Chains A and B, each alone.
Chain A
Amino acid sequence: MSLLSLNQMKTSIGQYHVLHDVTFEVPEGGVFVLLGRNGAGKTTTLRSIMGLWKPSPGSVHFKGEEISGLHASDIARKGIAFVPENMGVFGGLTVEENLVLATANGKFDAQRLKRIYQLFPALEQFWTKQAWSLSGGQKQMLAVARAIIEPRELILIDEPTKGLAPSIIDGMAEAFAEIGQSTTILLVEQNFNFAKRLGRGMAVIDDGHIAHTGSMADFAADTTLQEQLLSLSS
């Protein structure tokens, strides 16, 4: 059974129908990538899964249980974390406060904190700094660390490489590969080179519809399909 399954998900924002028919399944474990052009509906898909925008009833199932229509806080408590495109870090809070807010009871698990320090050493260095003073890459590290400070079964990550320097992106790829060994990641990404390094399964969304699903290895090998669906030239 898949961990997350979307079945003909439709989402409207105001009078605009953004998602018309989004159907795909995310298997348990590893990184599953959702690709698509600008405005195709990638972010809306993640936000709809998270309950931040209301999808059509019966269209999202997590571990076999319907979650469409639930409040975002209830979805989070079921074990889904969200790293939004703008990172969503709380600038007026310190790094420590950002992380402690994401813990279940206000206390850190020592092992998890150690793992975070290993993945993102900068966070330990800037532990008491307010998040607004961090660089873009450090904010992204904090946003991802916040998603794994508690055990989660699924992490939704929206365009984590946007605006980051290549050296930071490499570090981020290594961190995601490591996190993906114990947690499932649904990654929305426009940077195809980054996505193909990490993804096992993938889907392409175009104009609110799923245009293609399959393995990342097959898609990476098919330049014609890439050109057709993502306008990528080899």
Chain B
Amino acid sequence: MNQLSQTLERFGGVYLLPVFVGLIAFVLIGAPSSWVTLTVAGLSMGMMIFLMASGLSLIFGLMDVLNFGHSAFISFGAFVSASALAYMSGWLGADNIALNLIALFLAFGAALAFGLVAGWFFEVVIIKPVYHDHLRQILITMGALIVSEQIILAVWGGAPVTVPRPAFLEGSWLFGDVTVEIYRAFAFALGLAVYIALYFVLKRTRIGLLIRAGVENREMVEALGFKINRLFVGVFMVGSALAALGGAMWAGYETLITPALGGEMMIVVFIVVIIGGLGSVEGTLLGAIMVGLIANYIGFLAPKLALASNMLLMMAILLWRPSGLKPAVK
């Protein structure tokens, strides 16, 4: 194992893992057009999962809070966005990209705003009383997740909800015999834009510096004169809003959503955060892309293994790197 790690570090470290996975899949799949289609699907799926998981990773890294209710924000983001899109269906269906875009970003804005406000409420009312107590955190956030599912059932009903897509994101691009779904390319681009923005904030701003320092040593940040509890609330709100945005993107990807969406995504989100390494945005991106690629490749090569693929990936990575691929320095 050590030898493998050293060899990998020499050629670019863990960042090369998705490339290795892609190359192996290319050999196994054989048909280049299928491989490109699956790779784009895997990357876009990875980016959407990244949106959902990045906030959870920062929340755990900075606040040491195990928030099983995180996926409630994914669900609410999906349903709020679906309702907003349905309300603006006239603009969505219009043969006008500007109107399509306005409707789409208003729906995403609604999901983000909901995530921010609900995140603030959740942190202050549910999380704050159970700081430093993991068992109570698990119990109360699991409870909150169940309650949130019931609220969704009460508001939107139990039947699957259809999510309309903007006209300009319907269909596919054809490059020879390679098919790339436009929505997936858009999801990839949006996820990448959010990652770049997060990276810029964390690496180039004072708030980002404080968050990175707080992930390592909260006490020392306080001893330097900063009120870390305010930072906790801010990070929790942003993390919840990102989850809601991820949920909104996922709703458009699936086009049919149910109240069980959050519960279903929770396992994947936790796997990504654990694979990536807690508290690290780079690690979360890497973990999300790995999960997205493996899910698509295995789904094509060995459909019966598709459900277990994420678990197998997590087991393999944790055997190799118990702290995850790119954990924050502690």
Contact = CB atoms under 8 A, between A and B. Distances in A.
Interface of A: 50, 52, 71-73, 76-77, 81-82, 84, 88, 90-93, 97, 100-102, 106, 130, 132, 146
Contacts of B219: 52, 72, 88
A71 B223 contact: no
Interface in B91-128: none
Contacts of B304: none
Nearest to B225: A76
| Residue from the set A76, A90, A106 with the largest chain B CB neighbour count within 10 Å | A90
Contacts of A91: 216, 329-330
B209 A100 contact: yes
A76 B223 contact: yes
Nearest to B213: A90
Interface string B213-247: 10111011111111110000000000000000000
Interface in B270-325: none
Contact of A102 (B212, B224, B330): B224
Contacts of A76: 222-225
B210 interface: yes
B240 to A, nearest CB: 24
A97 B224 contact: no
A82 B206 contact: no
A123 B50 CA distance: 37
A106 B224 CA distance: 13
Given A92-B329, A101-B210, A84 B220 contact: yes
Interface of B: 206, 209-210, 212-213, 215-217, 219-228, 328-330
Given A88-B217, A90-B217, A73 B227 contact: yes
B328 A93 contact: no
Contacts of B212: 90, 92-93
Contacts of B206: 100-101, 106
A138 B225 CA distance: 23
Given A90-B213, A92-B329, A100-B206, 16 more contacts: A52-B223, A71-B227, A72-B219, A73-B224, A73-B225, A73-B226, A76-B223, A82-B223, A88-B223, A90-B216, A90-B220, A92-B216, A93-B212, A100-B209, A101-B224, A130-B329
A71 B222 contact: yes
Contact of A101 (B213, B222, B227): B213
10 contacts: A72-B222, A73-B223, A73-B224, A84-B220, A84-B223, A90-B217, A90-B220, A91-B329, A92-B215, A93-B209
B254 to A, nearest CB: 36
Nearest to B280: A92
Contacts of B225: 73, 76-77
User: What are the 10 tightest A-B residue pairs by CB atom distance, in nearest-first order?
Assistant: A92-B329, A76-B225, A88-B220, A91-B329, A72-B222, A82-B223, A90-B213, A77-B225, A73-B227, A90-B216
Contacts of A90: 212-213, 216-217, 220, 329
Given A106-B206, A132-B329, A93 B213 contact: yes
A106 B227 CA distance: 16
A117 B206 CA distance: 23
A198 to B, nearest CB: 22
Contacts of A102: 224
A77 to B, nearest CB: 5
Nearest to B328: A92
Contacts of B210: 101
Contacts of A88: 217, 219-220, 223
B200 to A, nearest CB: 15
A193 to B, nearest CB: 28
Given A100-B209, A101-B210, A132-B329, A73 B222 contact: yes
A130 B223 CA distance: 21
A205 B215 CA distance: 34
Contacts of B227: 71, 73
B209 A97 contact: yes
